[in-house]
Every structure is written in structure tokens, then in C-alpha cells.
Structure 1
Amino acid sequence: MTRPFTRRRFLTIAAATLAAGVARAETAATEWHGVALGAPASLTIRGDRRAAETAITAVRAELQRLERIFSLYNSDSALVRLNRNGWLAAPPPELLEVLSLSGQIHRQTGGAFDPTIQPLWQVYAEAAGAPVPDRIESAWARVGWQHLRFDADEIAFARPGMALTLNGIAQGYITDRIAALLKARGMTDVLVDMGEIAALGTRADGTPWRAGIAAPDGRILHRVTLSDRCLATSAPSGTVLDPAGEVGHIFDPRRRAPAGAQRVASVSAPSAALADGLSTAFCLMTPAEIDAVVAELPGARVETLI
């Protein structure tokens, strides 16, 4: 398969770096940098260093466990097995939780958010952004949230060749899980970046954490403050599928086409998973459609939309 031309992580790295730059000036901050779902991740924890280091060990173990559920590149992950076989018995509760939230966001966005879009992504990625029309039509026949069935006993596709990608929500979900793990261990002032950002509590001076929302070219579009709130940013050109950079990785299941490459959507919400799913969908929606969704979700706020 042709490898996508990845730039997406710069969006979150740029946001986290602004906040982490402040945190490094705090003497009581412990930092960790690692990998989550194959991309850079980081933590900044204020408080007792020994307790923070013990918590980081637990975080690393939790990340490995969640990778075995959500990774698209781990050949034995729950998601890969589902895509390979078309069904998955006794699915992990975390996967069911993400699918339930995905279904909610699918309904709220009028179908703009649809994780069953993976077959189309595969076709465009294999063809470096320029697949033949017959392959596109074949892929669309295998797309559709209504063809997915799931409960505690089994997840199953109703059509052969279907597949899921949870890249538009799993990073946010993992961010939430890590934030909850740290909070349960008594960590009250934490900045989590597992692909999306969760900010707990405050910085040492009592002010909120700070983040910058960056475009794929590195320009800071907007600066926000976060306290007990999450932030997610999506842009089709964050990962491009063709050498010219014109075909982004986010696809519109309603228009049956790739999204415009230049869109950037950033959303803050109480949950990083919700912010992640909404930011993905908002790359495909009109301002009026977005306003209608946000009106139904008082905890969500559009921070940037260009």
C-alpha cells in the first residue's frame, strides 16, 4: 500500500508545545514523551514527582492495552481482527463505548461522521490519491454506518469487505482514558496530549493551561485557555494521500468525495472523544449545519473553523 504523506500530528504537537513551554518553567512539573497509536504523545503533570513517575508507568501500560484494541497497524488488535474477519465476538467494552459515541455523533452530524469510510480511504491510499472510478464505486458499496451491528456479544458487518477506521475519535477517547487514569490517582493539574488534548486543573500560578491551534503549515490560527476541558483539531491536509497534497484523508460520506484539503476545524468540549469526532465531522459541514449541532451540545464549542 502507498504510504500516506502524514502531517496531521503537527496540529496537536504545535498546540501542546505552547502549553508545555510554560510547564517546563514550573519546577514541580514532571514530563513524559512517548507514542500513542503510532504518533507522538506527551504528559505534563504538576505535583509530587515520585507519584507522577509511578503514574506514568501505569499510563504506558494502559496505552499498550488500548493499542491492542484500536490500532489499525497492530495485526492482532481488536479493530484489525474485526476488519479482517468481518465480525468480532465478545468485543472489548472500550470498543463498544467508542462505537456507541460514534453512532451518536453520526446521528447528530447528519451522517457526516462515519467510521465505515475505511474502504474508500484504502482505495485512495493504495492509488496515491487517484483511484480508477470503478474502484471508487466498489468502495462506496462497502460504506455505511447502517450496515454495522454491535452489542456486548458481537460486532459484525452486514456487507462483505466493510471496514472501520476510528482515527477520527480513538485518539480523543484514549486522551480521555489517560486523563481519567491520572485523575483517579489524585493528579489534579495535568496536560495530556495523546493526539488530542485534555487539560485538568491549572498551571502553577493558578491560571488555565494554554494551547495554540496551528494550521498544517505551522501558522498559529488561534490561542485558547483550557481548564478541565479538552481540545481537538482536524484538517484533511493533516494527512494527504497524493504527492501534490490535494487529496486529504477525511472523506465525506454524504457527498461521496474527499473533503477540501484546506479546511481546519478545532473544537473544545468536556470530552476529548466528543471534541475529536466533532472536529472530524465539522471539516465536512457548512457553518449552518455546524451551528445546529453545537446548539444541541451546550458543552461543545467551535474554537477555529477556516
Structure 2
Amino acid sequence: MKAPQITVENLKKGLFRINFKAMGCPCEIQFRCNNPQTAEQFRTAALDWVNAFEQKYTRFKEDSLVSEINRQAGKNWVELDAEAEALFDLCNQFHFITQELFDPTTLPISKIWDYKATVPRIPSQEEIEAAKRLVGWNKVEREPGRIRLTKPGMGIDLGGIGKEYAVDRVSLIAKDFGLENVLINFGGDVAALGSPPQYTHWHVGIEDPGKPGTCWGSLALQDLCVAGSGDYRRFFEIDGKRYGHMVDHRKGYPIANKVRHTTIVSRTCTEAGILATAACLLGEEEGMELINTFFGAEGCIHTEFKRLDSYAIHQYMVSDN
């Protein structure tokens, strides 16, 4: 992971920018700071934390904690440190809050619906049913300081919480350094603390799922987070039918409810991201009901043909096209 050094020129402009790639996506941190030494120390601390987090919790590295947990499925307990235990506590909390829509154990289903395959295929019903039997947070055993997947073939994937959790943690690191005006953007999952120079709010563009690469509008945010979820970029087609990368683990199939993208504004990025995914799984009516009844959250749902807004999302909108 590499990022440009902090320079005096940045200081003169009043805004530092750090750009790097991590967790499979472009990442950017913008922040105001009047001390180049503090800016450099924060840069180092933030990058070191993100790098360590990715190494520990990715399922794509054999020596990660998540890979070890998955390797021991149906066999042995795996020891957890305090940070890992807190992260799995958070998973447990959101599994309950979303009525099991958020579930970190959906890896077996994700594997059989591999949209990245050179030749994607539709799995058989037998494969789907077998994968579904391996999914369920209630099948995970936890004791203080350790965790165990009870069935061989089970697997944890923290892709539904990882980037958002990282945004929140880097926000806390920024506050530890006394930084009050920070924008953290990890692959479109954003925390907006304070404000940029000469403005009262950070402006965050929201991509139009019907026209990827363009924005349908932007949100003015201060001390809030925004995250989105959707399948309009990652999918495959077979015989004219579209199969998105978001799989409903309750049914074992990619979602097919016409929702293309959901955007959520909330108090934490983790909360925003998990609510966005849950709303996509529920569909437009139930998804909007979830958003409207969740304290502190606002959002909008894009379907193939329209956009639905929560009661008070307009208070954040800069432009509404």
C-alpha cells in the first residue's frame, strides 16, 4: 500500500489528500490540518491500520484470521483477540437488528454464484440447497476469546461489513489526532466529519445506477456517513437473464426485485452500509419501510424505473435530478 508523502504545499492549500488502494477498491482521505508533522503522523497511522486490518480479515489471504476460521470449519476453535471479538460482536448485533438479513456466513452461496468466473454458470438446485444448509450465523459457536464454525464447508466473508467498519475506525484515528474536518472515502463508503475549507458541509456525489460514472445528485453532509449497495455494476447474463452479484441467502439466488441501488445516510458507515444491503434484499416497499423506521437513518432506493426517498433524505440533497 503506497500513498504520497505529506508536503508543505498541501498545508498551504489547507487540505491534505491521501490516495491509495486497499480492500480491492480506491481509497481517499481528505483532511484539514495546520501542522504538517501531525498530518504525517495521522497518514502513517491510518495507512498502517488499514493495511493490518486487510491482512487480518480478508478471506483471500491464506494466513489471515478469516481464512484460518474457515479452514477449521467443523473442526477446531480459533482464538480471537479483543479487536476480532469486538468485530464479531458487531456482526452479531447487526444480524439481530436486520432480522438475519445481514449474515457473515454466506460465503458458500457466494462461491457457487461466481460472477467473476471466466464462464459464469447457474448452479444446480442441489448445489444451492447444499450451500444454504451451510449458511446461518446461528450455526457459529462463540465463547469469550474464541470462535468455531460448526459444519465443514461453512465460511465467513466480512465483505458486507469490512470497508464500512474500516471507515469508522479511521474516523476514530483521525479524532485521536485532533482532526475535526475529515472526509474518508473507501470505495464509495464515506464518513464526512466537520467541513472542508470555505464550505459548511462536505458534498458527496451519488452515482446514478442507470448511468454508471455519472451522479444523479449529491448530499451535503457534516458529521454523518453515507454508504450504498447495489448490483448494477457487478453481474453476468445467461440467455438474456441478468444475475447480479448480490445473493439473497434466504432463497439461494441473486436478488430479482428490480432494486438496482440503495443509498443510506446514517451515524456510522457500518450502520449505513448494512442497512443499504438489507434494503436491497427486502425490495422497494419493505426496504423503504426499514429505512423510514430505523432511528437516525435516511436514504433512497433506485429501481429500474424510479427512485423512492425516505421521509427526510431531502434535507441532505444538494441537487435532485
The residue correspondences of 1:50-65 to structure 2 (distance < 5 A) are 50-65=37-52
Whichever of the two has the greater Rg, that structure is 2
1:71 aligns with 2:62: no
Shift of residue 92 of structure 1?
A: 3.2
1:37 aligns with 2:15: no
Which letter does structure 2 place at the counterpart of 1:95? A
* RMSD over equivalenced CA pairs, Å: 2.3
1:100 aligns with 2:86: no
Alignment correspondent of 2:104: 115
* Distance of 1:179 and 1:245 partners within structure 2: 41
Classify 1:147/1:282 alpha carbon distance in 2 versus 1 (closer, same or farther; 3 Å): same
Which letter does structure 2 place at the counterpart of 1:251? V
- Write the deviation string for residues 160-193 of structure 1: whole angstroms up to 9, x where unpaired: 2111111111110000011110111011100001
Which letter does structure 2 place at the counterpart of 1:163? G
- Write the deviation string for residues 183-227 of structure 1: whole angstroms up to 9, x where unpaired: 110111000012310111011124110011113522323311111
Alignment correspondent of 1:251: 247
- TM-score w.r.t. structure 2 length? 0.80
- SS of alignment partner, residue 184 of structure 2: strand
| Unmatched 5+ stretches in structure 2 | 1-9, 304-321
Shift of residue 245 of structure 1?
A: 8.5
* Distance of 2:241 and 2:179 partners within structure 1: 41
Alignment correspondent of 2:145: 153
* Distance of 1:135 and 1:207 partners within structure 2: 53
Equivalent pair of 1:237/1:247 in contact (CA under 8 Å): no
Equivalent pair of 2:58/2:67 in contact (CA under 8 Å): yes
Which letter does structure 1 place at the counterpart of 2:291? V
* Distance of 1:37 and 1:245 partners within structure 2: 30
- SS of alignment partner, residue 183 of structure 1: helix
Shift of residue 88 of structure 1?
A: 4.9
Classify 1:42/1:146 alpha carbon distance in 2 versus 1 (closer, same or farther; 3 Å): same
Instruction: Give 1:169's match in structure 2, choosing from 143, 155, 161.
Output: 161
Shift of residue 228 of structure 1?
A: 0.8
- SS of alignment partner, residue 65 of structure 1: helix
Instruction: Give 1:275's match in structure 2, choosing from 259, 272, 275.
Output: 272
Instruction: Give 1:194's match in structure 2, choosing from 186, 199, 208.
Output: 186
Equivalent pair of 2:81/2:145 in contact (CA under 8 Å): no
Equivalent pair of 2:292/2:298 in contact (CA under 8 Å): no
* Distance of 1:98 and 1:242 partners within structure 2: 35
Alignment correspondent of 1:181: 173
- TM-score w.r.t. structure 1 length? 0.84
* Distance of 2:64 and 2:264 partners within structure 1: 29
Alignment correspondent of 2:262: 265
Equivalent pair of 2:15/2:33 in contact (CA under 8 Å): yes
Instruction: Give 1:210's match in structure 2, choosing from 197, 203, 222.
Output: 203
- Write the deviation string for residues 69-124 of structure 1: whole angstroms up to 9, x where unpaired: 22121221111111122255221333333322222222232322222111011111
Equivalent pair of 2:56/2:66 in contact (CA under 8 Å): yes
Equivalent pair of 2:230/2:261 in contact (CA under 8 Å): yes
Alignment correspondent of 2:220: 225
* Distance of 1:61 and 1:193 partners within structure 2: 17
* Distance of 1:175 and 1:151 partners within structure 2: 28
Indicate the larger mover: 238-247 or 41-50: 238-247
% identity of equivalent residues:
27
- Write the deviation string for residues 239-283 of structure 1: whole angstroms up to 9, x where unpaired: 325687822221112233211375201111111111111111111
* Distance of 2:107 and 2:64 partners within structure 1: 16
Task: Say which structure is richer in helix.
Answer: 1
- SS of alignment partner, residue 148 of structure 2: strand
Instruction: Give 1:142's match in structure 2, choosing from 123, 134, 151.
Output: 134
Alignment correspondent of 2:294: 297
- SS of alignment partner, residue 284 of structure 1: helix
* Distance of 1:272 and 1:245 partners within structure 2: 33
| Unmatched 5+ stretches in structure 1 | 1-23
- SS of alignment partner, residue 263 of structure 1: strand
**How many pairs align?**
282
- SS of alignment partner, residue 167 of structure 1: helix
* Distance of 1:59 and 1:254 partners within structure 2: 37
